[in-house]
A = this chain, B = another copy of it.
Amino acid sequence: MTTIRAVEVHDVRFPTAAAGDGSDAINRGDYSATYVELLTDGPLVGAGFTFTNGRGNELTCAAVRALAPHVENRSIEEIAAEPVAFWRSLTADPQLRWLGPEKGVIHMATGAVVNAVWDLRAKAAGLPLWQLLAEMPTDELVANVDFHHITDALMPDDAVAILDKGRHGYAERLAQVRGDGFPSYTTSVGWLGYPDDKVRDLTRAAYAEGWRAMKMKVGGDLEDDVRRARIIREEIGPDALLMMDANQVWDVDEAIAAMARLAEFDPYWIEEPTHADDVLGHARIQRAVAPVRVATGEVAANRVIFKQLLQADAIGVMQIDACRVGGVNEVLAELLLAARFGVPVCPHAGGVGLCELVQHLAFFDYLRVGTSLEGRMVEYVDHLHEHFVDPVRTRGGRYLLPTEPGYSATMKPSSVAEFSFPEGPVWR
C-alpha cells in the first residue's frame, strides 16, 4: 500500500517572455508550471503539473490546494480500484464544479493532481507511464475512463473493442518504436517574436538536424505571415511539411480568407484557426480549407469539446494536451474518441514539460489505441527540458521511448527552488 499523505504545490515560472520565445498571435508568456508533489508514507513521490503562461499561475496553484482534500490520505491501490469515482471526486465536487464545469483553472488544476497520481502509480509499478497503460488489461483501462457525457459518441463496449484490437501486433509495434522512436515536428523556427533572419537561420538549422515537419505561427499581419511562410518553404523545399498555427486569433470568415491566401505554401494543417470553443466554426473552416487539415485541441477544455469536434467532422488532426484537461483519465477518453472516429492524434507540446508528458501518451496511443503512425507527429519545442530529471530524448527529429519509471514529470529540486515565484533567486 502506498498512501498519499500530503499535496505540495510549487508556483514555478521561467522568464521566457523577454526572449520572445513562445510568442504567438495572442500569448506572450513566462512559461510556468503549477508543480504538484504527492508525498506518501513510503519513499515514492508523485509528480505532476499543469502548464500556464506566467501571471495567474497562482490561481491554478490555489485550485490544487482546494482539490487536495480529495487526494490526501488515499492510497493508490484504492484509487486504482475505483478510478472514475476518484476522478469525479475532483471534477464533480458539488461546490468546486461551479467554477468550471470541467474547464479553465479548476480543470487544469485537476489535471495537475491527476497527472501526479498517475506518475505515482507508474513509479509504484516500476514502469514508464506509456508501458503501464499499454500493457494494462482492457477492462482495467476502460474502468479508468469516465464515459459521462460522451456515450452518444463512445460507449464502453466501443472502448473495449478498440483496446482489444490494440493488443494485436503490439510486440511488433513496440520493437519498431524502440528502434525508430516516434515522429515529431518542431515549432522552434517560427514564433511571431522572431525576425525574418532568425526564422531563416532556425529553419535551415532544423532541416539540417533532420526535421522534415515545421510549424510557424500565423495570425499577425497577413503579409508578414505570407513572407515568413515563403522563407520557410524556400528553406525546407516542397516535400517537407509546413504547419501553420493561428492561436485562435481569426474569426471564422477571416480564417477562411487568410487560408485562401496562404494556400500557395501548401500548408499541411491550420491549427487553432478560431476560438477554441467554436465547434461549428471549426467545422465550417474545415469544409472551406480542405484538403488542408484543421487541427486543434491544446485549449479544448474537455472531452465534450473533442467529442463534438469529431462528431461535426471539424478536424483532420486532433491535438490532445496533457495538462489542459483532467489528466491521464480524460486523455484516455480522448484517445479512444479519436480512434473511434479515425482521426489521427498529434499531441500539443512545448511550454514547460509538455514534451515530457505527451511522449508517453503518443507511444501509448500508437501501441494500443490508434495503432498507426500515419499522420502522427508529436510537437517538439527545444525549451526548458534541462529542468527535468528524465527529459525527452530525440534523434533525427524523433522522440525516443522513455525508459524510467513514472510520467517523466519530476522536476529537478534545484530548478524548482531557483524559479519558484516570487521567492526564487530568478524572481527576487
Which positions in A face B, CB cutoff 8 Å?
17, 26-30, 52-56, 58-60, 62-63, 66, 92-108, 148-152, 248, 251-254, 274-281, 284, 299, 301-302, 304-305, 307-308, 311-312
Contacts and interface: CB of A to CB of B under 8 A. Distances in A.
A107 B150 CA distance: 25
A58 to B, nearest CB: 6
Contacts of A28: 94-95
A28 to B, nearest CB: 4
Q: Determine how many copies of this chain the complex contains.
A: 2
Given A28-B95, A100-B104, A104-B105, 12 more contacts: A27-B94, A52-B95, A55-B95, A56-B96, A59-B63, A99-B105, A104-B104, A149-B278, A149-B281, A277-B301, A278-B304, A278-B308
A312 B278 CA distance: 12
Given A104-B104, A105-B63, A151-B253, A99 B56 contact: yes
Contacts of A93: 55
The 4 closest A-B pairs by CB, nearest first: A104-B104, A53-B98, A105-B105, A54-B95
A304 B299 CA distance: 14
Contacts of A275: 101-102, 149, 304
Contact of A104 (B52, B62, B99, B308): B99
A95 B251 contact: no
Given A152-B253, A299-B101, A280 B312 contact: yes
Nearest to A278: B304
Nearest to A54: B95
Contacts of A54: 95
A27 B304 contact: no
A105 B63 CA distance: 10
A52 B100 CA distance: 10
Most-contacted residue by chain B among A62, A66, A277, A308 (CB, 10 A): A277
Nearest to A96: B56
B279 A279 contact: yes
A323 to B, nearest CB: 11
A415 B97 CA distance: 26
